[in-house]
Chains A and B, each alone.
Chain A
Amino acid sequence: MTTPAAVAAAAELVSGLPASPAVWCSGLRKRYGRRTAVDGVSFTVGRGEVLGLLGPNGAGKTSVIKMLLGLVRPDAGEVMLLGRPAGDPAARARVGYLPELFRYQPWLTADEVLLLHARLARVRASTAERLEGLARVGLAERAGDRVGGFSKGMQQRLGLAVALVGDPRLVVLDEPTSALDPLGRADVRDLVLDLKGRGVAVLLNSHLIGEVERVCDRVVVLDRGRLAASGTLAELLGAREVRLRLTGVDAHATARLHAAGLTGRDGDWFTVALPADEDAGTGTGTGAGVGSGAAGRSADDGGAVPDLVRDLVARGVRVHAVEPRRISLEDRLLGILRDAEHSDGGGR
């Protein structure tokens, strides 16, 4: 039996706890007929954090987003938005959403669309506030025009303004720049950074890896419905690699190269993944691509390459070239996806 006193005591107990994550989901699963679209996906988006959702077409990114927002019913799994179970519509009170398939009532004006969403979100939005919202996405002069006459890019800009109605604490952007020109993309980037600056959590699903790399704190990679990797950018990109051109490589030298994190060989060229940077934290990855076998080991930025070269020379290997390089998010993503493909192929 819940008494007011018990509720008050419970409220006092939790008041000192840190704020719940903006998004918490666990074990999300969804099947469409015989096809499994999402299979056991779990992740969190912290308050004020920008999380990038990456993955190839059909990886289940949009399905995950729709399950978070109650648009698609998960077959299994739980979702909490801003500390409330997602089954309760009130959980979406401070959530803004720009769908991948953005379309707004063509018979309404841009201003009326914003007013409609303000009413649905149960927030007050004065004419001046609505105009400001439209100005933010470059549509101030089209406030009184019907949406039916808007170009795709303008509709996407309107969608951004709609997502920002009612001062949201979590904004979910599903491919927010798919219809925008380079200028529009830069605007979206600035907008996300502005939200981040104001402590608003953002879940960003985008094909444009450069976009994600610039604005996201953390990245979740989905592949064929499963979580392929997740971690901060430092974790995923902190890992570097070094390419070495070597001759006279015997079994001992090969063993040493493997111990260092050998990831590939092309003739005389050997690629070795180096340990992640020391501030990398704790990334996780089911694909071998994360950290390329080196993530999680203690970082030794200064010593790894000279030690390796010394050991190789000691084993009689001739070292012709040493080329260190930093891995881009795109390379990392491709590595994760290819590794997942190989491990899946081998398992069948």
Chain B
Amino acid sequence: MTVLTITALTLREASRRKVLRALAVLTLVLLGLSAWGFSRLTAVDPELGELTSGEGRLVASLLLNLVMFGLSLIAALGTAFLAGPTLAGEVDSGMSLAMLARPVRRSTVLLGKWLGLVVFGSGFVAVAGSAQILVVRWTVGYSPPSPVAGLALLAAETVVLLTLGLLLSSVVSTMASGIVAVGLFCATWIAGVVGGIGETLGNEGVAAVGTVSRILLPTDGLWHGAMNAFQDPSALSSFGVDAAAFPFLGEAPLTAVYLGWAALWVAMVWGLTALSFVRRDV
């Protein structure tokens, strides 16, 4: 009951603060630009619209992944900057004093806030991602092979990042937690690209950079899984061995072990946040 009350409060906060409006505007801009871009593509190369060539599917896959990356970045920014204020901000401002003096467990409050953010982040990914998939279908007639799995992985990526944002916000200040979370998200993405280049060059040391970063922070690993679900299966074969080096192609679907690790990672980080929050003097 308390969990749902706090979840509803977090969602209401997100909807009444300017975050939602900012996200909506950014998303509309991105969707509009991608619709225009895809329609120009078919205008320049009519063959692409008919999907007669593997090259056409490759281009559509790449562009879809590129736009989805933009969406995931918006989701990451939005949730990371929501997660900080919702915990650290409330403690700093004194807003949590009256609430935590109620007959509630702090872990319950944390769970409620986390669930609220999960619903918000996943809802955003579902709505904006579906809209983008429809835009691509209408403009170039391309449908990704596993849209639901892809969106679920994008949502999971958001969940990972917001969980990290919550942990950071329980130990550092509000603004710092958002900046560090987004910084780590970007750093992992770059480490993934570097690792891909290492794989292409056959340099195991450089390739390990991507692997290790995907284990330390599963956002990039989940992102690669999502790309794999959005792209045409033939895209990889047309790129050949160099696919790993390209940041907007996912070379293989995710293994159950990796998905399990991502779930465990979220549980562990959540547990650490709960430990820190429960012991914190407010």
Contact = CB atoms under 8 A, between A and B. Distances in A.
A178 to B, nearest CB: 13
Chain B interface size band reads 20 to 34
Interface string B1-22: 1100100010011001100000
Contact of A119 (B5, B93, B95, B279): B5
A66 interface: yes
B105 interface: yes
A120 B103 contact: yes
A108 B93 contact: no
Interface in A73-110: 73, 89-93, 95, 97-99, 101-105, 107-108
A70 interface: yes
A20 B12 CA distance: 40
B5 A97 contact: no
Interface in A106-135: 107-108, 116-117, 119-122
B257 interface: no
Interface in A51-75: 66, 69-73
B13 A101 contact: no
Contacts of A159: 98
A214 B104 CA distance: 34
B12 A108 contact: yes
B94 A103 contact: yes
Interface residues of A, number: 32
B281 A97 contact: no
A101 B103 CA distance: 20
A73 B97 CA distance: 14
Contact of A107 (B2, B13, B93): B13
A233 interface: no
Interface in A2-30: none
B5 A105 contact: no
B17 A107 contact: yes
Given A66-B281, A103-B93, A103-B94, A71 B101 contact: yes
A95 B9 contact: no
B282 interface: yes
A162 interface: yes
Given A120-B5, A120-B104, A105 B97 contact: no
Contact of B279 (A71, A73, A117): A73
Nearest to A65: B101
Given A66-B281, A73-B279, A107-B17, A116 B9 contact: yes
Contacts of B99: 116-117, 120
B103 A73 contact: no
Interface in B100-156: 100-105
Contacts of B16: 107-108
Contacts of B281: 66, 71-73
Contact of B282 (A71, A103, A122, A172): A71
Contact of A99 (B13, B94, B104, B279): B94
B95 A105 contact: yes
A74 to B, nearest CB: 10
A90 B2 CA distance: 13
B126 to A, nearest CB: 24
Contacts of A93: 103
A162 B1 contact: no
A90 B98 CA distance: 15
B245 to A, nearest CB: 46
Nearest to B2: A120
B103 A71 contact: no
A101 B98 CA distance: 9
A267 B100 CA distance: 57
Contacts of B95: 103-105
Given A69-B101, A73-B281, A90-B103, A116 B5 contact: yes
Contacts of B101: 69-71, 92, 95, 97, 99, 172
Top 3 A-B pairs, shortest CB-CB distance: A101-B94, A120-B102, A107-B16
Interface of B: 1-2, 5, 9, 12-13, 16-17, 93-95, 97-105, 279, 281-282
10 contacts: A70-B101, A71-B97, A72-B282, A73-B279, A90-B103, A97-B101, A98-B98, A101-B93, A103-B94, A107-B16
